[in-house]
Amino acid sequence: MTNSLHPNGPRRTPLPPAERSVEGVPTPRSAPSLPADRASKPAGATATTAPTAATATQPGKPRDAFFDNAKYLAIVLVAMGHAWEPLKGQSRVLEAAYMVVYAFHMPAFIIISGYFSRSFDMRADRLKRLVTGVAVPYVVFEVAYVLFKRCADDDPSLPVSLLDPWFLTWFLCALFIWRLTTPLWKLVRRPLPLALLVAMLATTSPSIGDDLDLQRTLQFLPFFVLGLCMKPEHFQLVRRREVRILSVPVFAAALVVSWWAVPRMNPGWFYHRDSAQELGAPWWVGPVMVLALLGCSLVLTACFFAWVPRRRMWFTALGAGTLYGYLLHGFLVKGGDYWGWFDHEWLHRPLGEIFVTLIAGVAVTLLCTAPVRRVFRFAMEPSMEWAFKRDATELAREQRAKTPA
C-alpha cells in the first residue's frame, strides 16, 4: 500500500486502518470468503446495514445478514426462556422446551461473540471500546438492576456489589474476561482442548465462589474459544440444505429426551453457574456433564444456525441492537415477577403460555430497535473521550490527512 496523498513522495509504512471494536457482542462483518451468499443476491442488493456508532464496522466491509439474523433470533429465545421461568413449574411440556432452548441459545450467542473477537488485541482503540462497550455497561446495569430490585421488590437491604454479577449482567463480566484473554488463546497450540479442560476442572471446584461469576465464565469458556477458532467455511458447513433437513428430527428428538428428563435431571446444569457438588452430585460428574452438555449444545447450535436465514430479513437490522434487548428485557421480566403479572391462573394454561411467549418476543424486538438504542446509548455506548488519551496512531492519521499533497 502506498500513501495516496503522496503518490510521488517517499514511501512510508502505512498506518493501520481505523477500526472500532464492538460493544457487547461483536459487530458482524461479511467475510470475503463467503461468495455464495453474495452471488445468490441480485446486483444492488448487498444486504448491508448503514454503520452507526452502535454498529461501526471496518470501512468498506458490509455486515453479513446471517450473523445479524442469528443474533436477533438467539436474543428472542433468551427473552422467551426468561419469560417461561415463572410458568414452567406447572407444565412439563414447557419445562422440556425450556431445557432445549437453554441447551443452545447462549452457546450460539457466545460462539458468535468469539468468532468476531478473533481480531482483538491490546491495541489502544480496541481496549477503549472494550471498556466503554462492555465494562461501563456492566457497571451501569449492575447498579441499575440492584436499585430496581430494591424499589420494585421492596428489598432495600440488597447490596450493590460489582464483584457479584446479578441476573443478566454476568454475560458482560464474562465477555470482558474472555475478550481480554483472547491474545492468549490465539497464542497456545491447542486452545480448544485447553479451554475444555479449564471448564471441566471448574465444575469440580466449588471454592471458586460467586466473585465475577467465574464459575459460569469458565464453564462457558469453550464456546467462546470455539468461536475464536472458527472460520467462515465452518459456518458454511451447517448452512447446507441437508443439515437443515436433518435438524428437524434432531430438534424433535431433543424435545422428547427433554420431556423424559424433566423429572430426572436438575436444570441447573444448563445454567453452568454451579459446581457438581453444589448441584448435589459427586465431583466426577461435573467433567462428564461438561462433555455431555457441550456435545448436545454444539449439535443443537448447528441445527439452529442451519435455519438462520442468510438473506436480509425484516429483523436483520435489529441484530445490531441485541445487547440492548438483552439487558433491557430483564427489567420487564423481573418487574412482572415482582408485581405478580405471572400469577394469573390463565397464564399457566397452554394459551396463556403461548401469549406470554409472543409478548416476550415482541417486547425484546422493540427493545432492539433504533429509537430505543438512541435513548439508552449514553449507558451502552458512552464515548468517554474525557477519560482517555488520544491514541498516537489516530493523531498521526489526522496529521497525515491535514498534510497538503
Distance, in Å, from the CA atom of 260 to the CA atom of 172, rounded to the nearest integer, reads 34
Determine the average pLDDT of the residues in 262-286.
93
Determine the average pLDDT of the residues in 33-56.
38
Confidence of residue 40 (pLDDT cuts 50, 70, 90): very low
Distance, in Å, from the CA atom of 369 to the CA atom of 358, rounded to the nearest integer, reads 17
Confidence of residue 16 (pLDDT cuts 50, 70, 90): very low
Residue type for position 333: V
Distance, in Å, from the CA atom of 205 to the CA atom of 354, rounded to the nearest integer, reads 39
Determine the average pLDDT of the residues in 331-358.
93
Distance, in Å, from the CA atom of 97 to the CA atom of 91, rounded to the nearest integer, reads 10
The Cα-based distances of 142 to 239, 326, 384 in angstroms read 37, 13, 19
Cell numbers that stand for 363 in this block? 417486547
Provide, rounded to the nearest whole percent, the portion of the chain with pLDDT above 70.
83
Task: Note the pLDDT of residue 71.
Answer: 95
The Cα-based distances of 87 to 232, 264, 276, 321, 336 in angstroms read 39, 19, 26, 28, 12
Confidence of residue 283 (pLDDT cuts 50, 70, 90): very high
- DSSP calls for 208-251: G-SGGGHHHHHHSHHHHHHHHH--HHHHHHHTSHHHHHHHHHHH
Residue 50: which residues within 8 A CB-CB, separation 6 or more? Answer: none
Residue 74: which residues within 8 A CB-CB, separation 6 or more? Answer: 105, 106, 108, 109, 112, 304, 322
Q: Tell me: pLDDT of 33 over 50.
A: no
51/13: higher pLDDT: 13
**Number of C-beta neighbours around residue 132 at 10 A:** 20
Task: Note the pLDDT of residue 1.
Answer: 42
Q: Tell me: pLDDT of 50 over 70.
A: no
DSSP code of residue 73: H
Sign of the Cα torsion 206, 208, 213, 219 reads: negative
Terminal-residue alpha carbon distance, the chain: 17
Task: Note the pLDDT of residue 122.
Answer: 87
- Nearest C-alpha neighbor of 24 from the set 322, 273, 286, 311: 322
26/390: higher pLDDT: 390
Please tell me the pTM assigned to this model. Answer: 0.82
Determine whether 210 is exposed, middle or buried from the number of CB atoms within 10 Å of its CB (0-12, 13-18, 19+).
middle
